[in-house]
Amino acid sequence: MTDTGMTLAYHRTVFDGWRSMSIALYMTLVGYGVLVGIPVISTAWVNLLGFSEVEVGRVAGADLGGLSLGAVLTALVIARVNRHLLILGSVVLAVGANALCMVMVEYEQVLWLRLIAGVGSGVYTAVAVATLGATSRPARAYNIMLFAFAFSQALELYFLPKMSMNGIYIAFIAFYLFGLLFLKWIPDRPAEAGLDVELDIEDSSGEHHIEHRHVPAYVPWLVLAAIVATYINIGAYWTYIELASLASNATPEWISNLLVWTALFSVLGCLFATVVSNRYGLARPLLVTLVFQAVIVAMLAGGINDTNIMISMFSFNFLWIFVDVYQMATVANVDHSGRFASLMPGAQGLGQILGPNIAASILAFGYDYGAVFVMCGIASLVAMCIYLTMYLRLRKTIPALADAS
C-alpha cells in the first residue's frame, strides 16, 4: 500500500497467454537484432565494406532511425488495424531490404536500404512490444524480455564477427521468416483502449473498491522523451565503443571477450531490477540509475585502458537493463491500447539515430572519442531531469502510479 491507501489494480487479459508472450518475446529479440549487435555490425561495415567511421555512424543512424519511423507509423494504426497484417508487411520490408544489401554494397545504396530495413524492424518490434505491454504485469514481461536479450545479445556478439557480411544479412532474413510460422499466436486486436488506470483503494474501514483515474497525456509523452535522451547515450556509446577501444591502448582480444561477457552480465541486471522495483517501485530506482549511467560512460573521456573499459562495459550493460525495464513498464502501466507502448521502439530508434549521428558529427569536427563519451553522459542526465519532472508532477495527482512497480 502507498501512503494514500491506493495501489494499481491488475487484471489478466488475452495477452497473458503463454503463446502470445512467447512469440512476442521472440519477435522483440529479432526486431532489436541490429540494435543489440551494432558494435560488431559497425565494425563489419568498416572492415568488410570499407566504410569510414563517419559513414558507419550515418548507416547505423539510418537503420535505427528507420526503427523509430516504423514504430511511429505503427502507433498511428495499431489500435484499429489487424496486427497480423502489420507483421506481414514489416517482414516483407525487412527481408527485402536485407536481401538487397547482399548485392548493393555502395555507401549510398546501403544507407537507404538500411533505412528501409529499419522501418520493417520498427513495425515488427512495435507490435511485439505493444503485445508484451498489454499483459497484466508489463514490468514482469519486459524483465523476461530483457533477460532473454542478455543471452541473445551475447550470442550475436560472439557469432556475428565470425560471419561474412552476407552471412549476417542471411541470418536476419531467416529469423524474420521463421517467426511467421507462429503469426496466429499474436492477438490481432487490443484488449481495451484508453489512457487510464484502475486503482485499488482502501477506505478508513478497511474496505476496498476499484476506482478509474484518467492519466494525463503528458505522462507517457515525458517518459518517451526520456527514452529518446537515454538512447542518444546508448546509441552513441554502443555504436562506437568497440571502435574507440580498438583505437586506444586497450588489448583488442580483451575487448572482443568483454563484448560477449558483459552482455551475459546483464542477466544480473534483470534479477536486481525485479527485486528493486518490487520494493521501491519503478521511478526512484530509475532516477538513480540514469545518474550512475552518466558516470560510467563519461569515465572513458580521459582515455581507455583494459581496466576502465571493463568497468564501463560491465556497468553499462547492467544498468541498461534497469533503464529499459523501468521506462517501458511505466508507459505500459497507463496505455492498454498499444498506441504509446508501440511508440517505445520509436523513441528508442529516434535516440539511436540521433546518438550515432551526433557522435559522427563530433568526430567529423575533429574531436576524439572522449568528447563522444562526454556527450553520452550529458544525454543520460537530460533523461534523468525529464523523468524527474514527470515523477514529481505525478506524485501530486496519482501517487500510486508514480510509485508503481
Q: What is the pLDDT of residues 350-370, one digit of tens each?
A: 887 789 889 989 998 989 899
pLDDT exceeds cutoff 60 at 294: yes
Strands (E), 147-272: 196-202, 208-214
Phi, psi of 331 (to 5 degrees): -65, -45
The rounded distance, in Å, linking the Cα atoms of 200 and 136 is 15
What is the structure's pLDDT at 84? Answer: 96
Give the pLDDT mean for 10-19: 78
Give the residue with greater pLDDT, 7 vs 32: 32
**DSSP strand pairing (208-214 vs 196-202):** antiparallel
Q: Give residue for cell 501517487.
A: 399
Give the residue with greater pLDDT, 8 vs 313: 313
Find out whether 166 and 102 touch, Cβ atoms under 8 Å. Answer: yes
pLDDT exceeds cutoff 80 at 203: no
Q: Give residue for cell 555504436.
A: 239
Residue range 133-189, pLDDT digits in tens: 888 778 788 888 878 887 887 788 888 888 999 999 999 999 999 999 999 999 987
Q: Is 163 exposed, middle or buried (0-12, 13-18, 19+ CB in 10 A)?
A: middle
Contacts of 307 (CB under 8 A, 6+ apart): none
Global pTM exceeds 0.85: no
Give the chain's mean pLDDT: 84
pLDDT exceeds cutoff 60 at 202: no
pLDDT exceeds cutoff 80 at 349: no
Residue range 62-80, pLDDT digits in tens: 888 888 899 899 989 988 8
What is the structure's pLDDT at 204? Answer: 59
What is the structure's pLDDT at 2? Answer: 43
The rounded distance, in Å, linking the Cα atoms of 234 and 348 is 9
Residue range 246-272, pLDDT digits in tens: 887 778 778 777 877 776 667 777 777
Taking alpha carbons only, the member of 348, 342, 343 closest to residue 324 is 348
Give the pLDDT mean for 231-240: 88
Give the pLDDT mean for 278-298: 86
pLDDT exceeds cutoff 70 at 126: yes
pLDDT over 70 percentage in the chain: 88
What is the structure's pLDDT at 357? Answer: 86
List domains and CATH numbers for the chain.
14-188+216-402 (1.20.1250.20)
Give the pLDDT mean for 377-396: 90
Taking alpha carbons only, the member of 238, 38, 277 closest to residue 142 is 277
What is the structure's pLDDT at 19? Answer: 93
- Report long-range pairs for 304-312 (Cβ below 8 Å, ≥24 apart): 304/244, 304/245, 304/248, 304/249, 304/250, 304/369, 305/248, 305/249, 305/250, 306/250, 306/251, 306/254, 309/245, 309/248, 309/250, 309/254, 309/255, 309/258, 310/254, 310/258
Q: State the cell numbers at 204.
A: 478508513
